[in-house]
């Protein structure tokens, strides 16, 4: 069974907060995937500290929606895709699955391409071969989940997340950002349509639709005894909130750190609009050791995030279509588009940024149903979203839709 979990209910004596953490750290890996690297480095190199505010706002939105998703799974015992599958008629369910699957494919494209770039930087492996290697390694990670259960999978992903954090933040030690620039970057503003496109890409890379779908599944599988008593459910919901805050604070620090590194190191240097060019500039400015550490972080990001992406795709398919396929088989099928793009010579950094823009357009399709479900007293009982949380979620949805509408208008009118 694809989404089978082998997690045993926690004994009372082991019910401490630390032992209840984990699902959010798996979801958080989606927030530091190679698509983030491309969007954040390009933003920092091209516009300095201008778009720091986008990452701060996006990370706050991510905390909000990931908590809602996890809480939905814990309180109801069903994932977001399962709830939608029960409510949509057959045709609507299939159409919804198509858009969700396109989002999952865009995610997979970014992650495989990013891993392939990392292997090329480290070992000069051709990009198509690197993509295949990333695909094979991600299959091995998914095998851990299938054979040994979610706790072991969580441990493997958290280990990779630590490597990602070190890899992407190490350069800040040698090239600290300008405090005045950081403060100025917190003021919301744009500079032309290209900065808006980058902001949409950064938003798509930070608030990840597939992570919203997946987190509800991870949380319900991780805490199968959550609804055993009202007191136990309240404990799990509290632990879930802490899990999300800690995991997304870490992911947010990594994202903002990438932009700050690019702003402090790569500004005004030609060729830094690609990951390869940014890596070369980092090596020239900070030395080969930091360059290697950065590339290792990128590789860990690609390996972990592509595994999580395949898991999310299986969750979406099962919830909406009631179809289960082996994770490894899904991994193999979804690998094909990325390998094709790498083989025909498409610019990999451009592909990464475009994939993140696709993700940003998928966000409302995940957020609006999630907001409606978690606001329902009938579905959530005492754990429904409060007024402040509902308003914050509504504002997030409006901002995301408005940004995407503005991006479309600028793109098709040729303005900016």
- Residue 39's closest CA among 169, 194, 201? 201
Residue 9: band (very low, low, confident or very high) from pLDDT cuts 50, 70, 90: very low
Residue 335: band (very low, low, confident or very high) from pLDDT cuts 50, 70, 90: confident
- Residue 36's closest CA among 58, 66, 5? 58
Residue 16: band (very low, low, confident or very high) from pLDDT cuts 50, 70, 90: low
What pLDDT score was predicted for residue 411? 64
Longest CA span, the chain: 62
Ranking 179-193, 202-216, 379-393 by mean pLDDT, the lowest is 202-216
14-413 topology per CATH: Amino acid/polyamine transporter I (1.20.1740)
pLDDT digits (tens, 9 = 90+) for 363-405: 889 999 999 999 999 999 999 999 999 999 889 888 877 877 7
- Residue 298's closest CA among 201, 200, 165, 141? 165
Range list of β-strands (E), 62-157: none
Q: What is the mean pLDDT of residues 346-354?
A: 81
The mean pLDDT of the chain is: 88
- Residue 23's closest CA among 76, 84, 74, 77? 74
Measure the CA–CA gap between 309 and 306, rounded to whole angstroms.
5
Measure the CA–CA gap between 16 and 243, rounded to whole angstroms.
12
* Every domain of the chain and the residues it spans: 14-413
Q: Please answer whether residues 37 and 275 qualify as being in contact, where contact means their C-beta atoms are separated by less than 8 angstroms.
A: yes
Percentage of residues of the chain with pLDDT beyond 90: 60
Considering the entire predicted model, what is its pTM? Answer: 0.90
Q: Which two tokens stand for residue 121?
A: 């930087």
Residue 7 is classified by DSSP as: P
Measure the CA–CA gap between 148 and 144, rounded to whole angstroms.
5
Q: Please answer whether residues 374 and 70 qualify as being in contact, where contact means their C-beta atoms are separated by less than 8 angstroms.
A: no
- Residue 374's closest CA among 241, 221, 229, 232? 241
Q: Please answer whether residues 66 and 211 qualify as being in contact, where contact means their C-beta atoms are separated by less than 8 angstroms.
A: yes
Q: 28-61: b or e for each residue (b if 16 or more CB lie within 10 Å)?
A: bbbbbbbbbbbbbbbbbbbbbbbbbbbbbbbbeb
pLDDT digits (tens, 9 = 90+) for 91-115: 999 999 999 988 888 888 888 999 9
Measure the CA–CA gap between 179 and 364, rounded to whole angstroms.
34
| Other CB atoms within 10 Å distance of the CB of residue 243 | 27
Q: What is the mean pLDDT of residues 325-354?
A: 84
Range list of β-strands (E), 76-174: none
Q: Is 274 exposed, middle or buried (0-12, 13-18, 19+ CB in 10 A)?
A: buried
Q: What is the mean pLDDT of residues 251-261?
A: 95
User: Could you identify the residue written with the tokens 């399962």?
Assistant: 82
Q: Please answer whether residues 25 and 154 qualify as being in contact, where contact means their C-beta atoms are separated by less than 8 angstroms.
A: yes
Q: Is the pLDDT of residue 19 over 80?
A: no
Q: Which two tokens stand for residue 37?
A: 């690297």
Q: Is the pLDDT of residue 15 over 50?
A: no
Residue 78 is classified by DSSP as: S
Cα–Cα distances (Å) from 361 to 221, 305, 323, 353, 408, in that order, read 28, 20, 25, 13, 10
Torsion of CA 5, 11, 17, 18, to 10 degrees: -60
Q: Please answer whether residues 255 and 34 qualify as being in contact, where contact means their C-beta atoms are separated by less than 8 angstroms.
A: no
Residue 339 is classified by DSSP as: H
Q: Please answer whether residues 327 and 108 qualify as being in contact, where contact means their C-beta atoms are separated by less than 8 angstroms.
A: no
Q: Please tell me the number of Cα atoms within 13 Å of 378 on its side-chain side.
A: 2
Q: Please answer whether residues 205 and 28 qualify as being in contact, where contact means their C-beta atoms are separated by less than 8 angstroms.
A: no
Q: What is the mean pLDDT of residues 197-215?
A: 84
What pLDDT score was predicted for residue 115? 94
Rg (CA), the chain: 20
Q: What is the mean pLDDT of residues 332-360?
A: 83
Q: Please answer whether residues 187 and 53 qualify as being in contact, where contact means their C-beta atoms are separated by less than 8 angstroms.
A: yes
């Amino acid at each position: 069974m694809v989404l089978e979990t082998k997690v045993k209910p926690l004994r009372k004596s082991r019910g401490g907060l630390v032992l209840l953490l984990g699902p959010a750290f798996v979801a958080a890996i989606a927030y530091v995937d190679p698509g983030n690297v491309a969007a954040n480095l390009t933003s920092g190199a091209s516009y300095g500290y201008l778009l720091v505010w986008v990452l701060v706002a996006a990370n706050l939105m991510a905390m909000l929606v990931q908590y809602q998703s996890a809480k939905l799974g814990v309180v109801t015992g069903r994932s977001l895709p399962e709830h939608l599958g029960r409510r949509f008629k057959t045709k609507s369910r299939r159409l919804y699955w198509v858009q969700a699957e396109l989002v999952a494919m865009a995610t997979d494209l970014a992650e495989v391409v990013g891993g392939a770039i990392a292997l090329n930087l480290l070992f000069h492996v051709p990009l198509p071969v690197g993509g295949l290697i990333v695909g094979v390694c991600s299959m091995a990670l998914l095998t851990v989940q299938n054979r040994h259960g979610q706790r072991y999978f969580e441990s493997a992903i958290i280990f990779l997340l630590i490597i990602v954090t070190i890899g992407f933040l190490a350069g800040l030690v040698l090239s600290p950002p300008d405090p005045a620039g950081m403060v100025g970057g917190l003021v919301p503003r744009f500079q032309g349509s290209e900065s808006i496109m980058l902001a949409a890409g950064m938003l798509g890379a930070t608030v990840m639709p597939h992570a919203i779908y997946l987190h509800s599944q991870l949380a319900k599988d991780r805490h199968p005894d959550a609804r055993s008593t009202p007191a136990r459910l309240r404990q799990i919901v509290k632990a879930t909130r802490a899990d999300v805050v800690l995991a997304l604070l870490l992911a947010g620090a990594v994202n903002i750190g990438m932009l700050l590194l690019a702003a402090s190191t790569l500004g005004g240097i030609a060729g830094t609009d690609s990951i390869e060019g940014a890596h070369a500039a980092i090596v020239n400015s900070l030395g080969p050791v930091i360059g290697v550490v950065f590339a290792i972080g990128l590789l860990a990001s690609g390996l972990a995030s592509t595994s999580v992406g395949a898991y999310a795709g299986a969750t979406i398919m099962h919830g909406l279509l009631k179809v289960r396929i082996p994770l490894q088989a899904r991994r193999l099928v979804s690998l094909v588009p990325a390998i094709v793009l790498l083989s025909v010579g498409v610019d990999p950094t451009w592909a990464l940024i475009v994939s993140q823009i696709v993700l940003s357009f998928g966000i409302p399709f995940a957020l609006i149903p999630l907001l409606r479900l978690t606001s329902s007293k009938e579905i959530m009982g005492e754990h429904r979203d409060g007024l402040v949380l509902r308003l914050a979620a509504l504002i997030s949805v409006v901002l995301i839709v408005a940004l995407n509408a503005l991006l479309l208008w600028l793109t098709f009118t040729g303005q900016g």
